[in-house]
Amino acid sequence: MASVNKVTLIGNLGRDPESRSFPDGGTICNVTIATTRRWKQRDSGEMQEETEWHRVVFRDRLAEIAGEYLKKGRPVYVEGRLKTRKWTDKDGVEKYTTEIVAEQMQLLGSREGMGGGDAGDSGYGEGGGSGGGGGERSARPAPAPRAPAGRAAPQKSATGFDDMDDDIPF
């Protein structure tokens, strides 16, 4: 049976990227992305929130782009795969870390501070290679949805489910 190792995240950067270049020309950029889950408690109706932190590694051209454009607090979309590494620390203790090796990235939000005035975002990803030698990366502009300036009155949906809360009744 075939298997799948795929991760999709939409979250905010917890700190500025850390980039390193190597003598062979390779580049790595490490970031930490926060995702937050929100739900309503069934018994009390109180809103709950849980934040999860994810270590993400960008390589080669994608690392260069991430290091240049990502900043602390910036929203980002990332697709990749899970990878667990093992190493021995200075005390001889074996340590493990699981991180996401990014294969696609989409910058979200406005281009504030980036020299561009429109609200379009750029997507970056690895080209059609089989993971080995850093294929050609492509940038795809994508329009960002704009929220209306004022708050519009909620519209009734045709399904009648608009007044239900987020809890699933089973």
Q: Which residue has the tokens 């929130």?
A: 49
DSSP bridge pairs for 32 = 55
What integer pLDDT is reported at residue 104 of this predicted model?
94
| Residue 159: C-alpha distances to residues 45, 154, 156, 168 (Å) | 24, 14, 8, 16
* Strand pairing class (47-59; 7-13): unpaired
Among the listed residues 25, 81, 36, the one whose alpha carbon sits nearest the alpha carbon of residue 58: 81
Phi, psi of 66 (to 5 degrees): -60, -45
The pTM for the full model equals 0.63
- pLDDT (tens, 9 = 90+) of the chain, 170 residues, equals 899 999 999 999 999 999 998 898 889 999 999 999 999 988 998 999 999 999 999 999 999 999 999 999 999 999 999 999 998 999 999 999 999 999 999 998 876 544 333 334 455 565 443 333 333 333 444 444 444 444 444 454 444 445 555 555 54
Q: Are 64 and 134 in contact (CB under 8 A)?
A: no
Please list, in sequence order, all residues whose beta carbon lies within 8 angstroms of the beta carbon of residue 157, skipping any fewer than 6 positions away. none
